[in-house]
Structure 1
């Protein structure tokens, strides 16, 4: 895979800064969730959604790896069992189409989550992380890759992740991907951390063992490395439950189509008929 172009690297630095995390000789403690597409609701082909987590207990910094098919306009994971009060990592292609933008967001209900400016994130490039922060376009193998750290990210405006002695082994998590295909809904490319998101096309829940993902200090903390496959070249499920995502869609276009059909097939012809049968004083009714 080609490295991130120099101008894209400068652009990424201007928004996030380059993490100075040292290259680790072994993978930090991590929990890893993977979902392999088998019903077409995430991307295409037989690709996977991956989320790997490591937390530095001494700083509350949260290190993540996340990847999904580039056929989806965005990808996201959040702490919690529902969107409301969840802190989320939302990633989408940057404006040049080859880099990745990470937007930390908080949802206050079942609506589009908003950019949360109180938590700052940095993209991470270091040894052992393939395709870091890139969007690859290699036919059926096209994918988005994110490697990042969000500082002091275990507490937010309306929630908190317990990383102490009572940290959960079954922490509820949510994940989702944006629509794919062609058209405006699948063409999200932006460096704006508040960029608008089109409603997810698939979503699901899973659990993660937080105790397995904890590092006591920065010497062992970092973005989780691949933990399986030939020569540890891929991410495999570890410390997380499996999931079966649900397909979803935005009902607005269908509702709009129904209203337009009713308007042209019933309301407009009825209005024209009434115009010819009502007396002059009743024309205001036709207008309304």
Structure 2
């Protein structure tokens, strides 16, 4: 590998770090209810919301950026979310409309006094806050979309809504269930409600809405809690609207309070997530790279060190994958989950390929297609594992600083291991030239994969006439003629 090649690798991974900087610019906060079953009958509420708080440098107040998606199969009913623990004084966002009418969904911003019909808010009722709609559109979910995985007897429509509440911390706190909308709130209660069968004939923002069912849960209404402090975007520039992560139910949110009153269920889920991340971090940030170093260590026991390290790393990955599956609770359709499962399953195939390569090489004394399959599978596992570890940090809301630090560590590991392999090949080539021994082509001698020190161990098994004082990846000696 030339210096130009190394420089190209460094430039590529610097670009990757800059991409991570853009991705991690704001902390993810999201809450979802997945209840759409592809049919109107027996369907349950299905929506997602994401929120970002940002300090406005001009007004010195805090703005709230809100995203919503609502999944539905007809023009019936409405879906709403609101701040606070009760309807009274809540800042509500209510979405309804006909996805087949070629008109955008209606986004009605309302509040209520007591348990009465919510009414569109006036400027006086807003108390200094100003709500502006940024986006409202319907999107038909086709068969290739992940959301269309359910069995559907009718087209699935997705309402996509985005709005900003300027100076939202000035929203007045009224009523017993009122709570200030501030980035200092670490467990701000929100409410949701829905009606699944009202035929809304007049698509205006002040239309009369039939009541939801009075049964809590998926029957008609519910509460959830949002860590608003986590959603605070510290940048001076205006943030983008929150991105809704497909298939993820909670990020910085919970069905129960997020402070000391959180239930054991939430604590257990949080602890399992930490163990899952720790195991994957040990495997992909420490053990797998250490296994690559072991296979190039030029030790007579490099093969033994390598397979032991890779076995421990694979066990950590497998256990971490099991914990990840347990945390998914039936919602298994995000790219992070799918990639993690594929990597974990591929490790078993990789171990088999490494074993077959070792057995066949001892017999034929050169690489076969299995050898190259083992090499490229190892490379793919490492790259996908690294990227997936970063996406996992994004999904659980690890701070931007820590995410960038891990990304930098990964770049350093890639550059360092690449240089280490290049240096080993150069050293071995120089030894071969000094001893006037034949040397195989660069493509035949270079390695950068999980598990490739087999040749060293295999060389130790060559007859006495071929033995020499060697180390891993020294040049391959030709067989001496028996004559």
Name which of 78, 81, 88 aligns with 2:82: 78
Distance 2:193 2:46 in 1: 13
Determine helix, strand or coil for the equivalent of 2:196.
Answer: coil
Do structure 1's residue 198 and structure 2's residue 217 form an aligned pair? no
Aligned 8 A contact 1:103 1:194 in 2: yes
The residue that corresponds to 1:179 in the other structure is: 196
Distance 1:42 1:212 in 2: 36
State how many pairs are aligned.
202
- TM-aligned CA distance change 1:38 to 1:195, over 3 Å: closer
Map 1:4-153; keep pairs closer than 5 Å. Answer: 25-26=22-23, 28-37=26-35, 48-58=46-56, 59-70=61-72, 71=74, 72-93=76-97, 96=101, 98-118=103-123, 119-124=129-134, 133-134=137-138, 136=140, 139-153=154-168
Name which of 206, 214, 226 aligns with 1:208: 226
User: RMSD between aligned alpha carbons?
Assistant: 3.4
Aligned 8 A contact 1:37 1:45 in 2: yes
Aligned 8 A contact 1:28 1:225 in 2: no
Aligned 8 A contact 2:140 2:155 in 1: no
**Alpha-carbon shift at residue 213 of structure 1 (Å):** 1.2
- TM-aligned CA distance change 1:97 to 1:160, over 3 Å: farther
Whose radius of gyration is greater, 1 or 2?
2
- TM-score, length-scaled by structure 1: 0.59
Map 1:241-256; keep pairs closer than 5 Å. Answer: 241-242=254-255
**Alpha-carbon shift at residue 238 of structure 1 (Å):** 0.2
Structure 1 or 2: more strand by fraction:
1
Aligned 8 A contact 1:63 1:149 in 2: yes
**Alpha-carbon shift at residue 113 of structure 1 (Å):** 1.1
Aligned 8 A contact 1:179 1:198 in 2: no
- TM-aligned CA distance change 1:79 to 1:28, over 3 Å: same
Structure 1 or 2: more helix by fraction:
2
- TM-aligned CA distance change 1:105 to 1:47, over 3 Å: closer
Distance 2:39 2:112 in 1: 23
Distance 1:114 1:213 in 2: 28
- TM-aligned CA distance change 1:209 to 1:195, over 3 Å: same
- Once the two structures are overlaid, the 10-residue window that deviates more, 26-35 or 207-216, is 26-35
Distance 2:228 2:98 in 1: 30
The residue that corresponds to 1:163 in the other structure is: 182
Could you list the runs of 5+ residues in structure 1 that have no partner in the other structure? 1-23, 126-131, 228-232, 244-288
The residue that corresponds to 1:224 in the other structure is: 242
- Once the two structures are overlaid, the 10-residue window that deviates more, 53-62 or 79-88, is 53-62
Determine helix, strand or coil for the equivalent of 2:224.
Answer: strand
The residue that corresponds to 2:293 in the other structure is: none
Distance 1:122 1:94 in 2: 22
Determine helix, strand or coil for the equivalent of 2:168.
Answer: coil
Aligned 8 A contact 1:163 1:214 in 2: no
Could you list the runs of 5+ residues in structure 2 that have no partner in the other structure? 1-20, 124-128, 143-153, 214-219, 257-483
Higher relative contact order structure (alpha carbons within 8 Å, sequence separation ≥ 6): 1
- TM-score, length-scaled by structure 2: 0.37
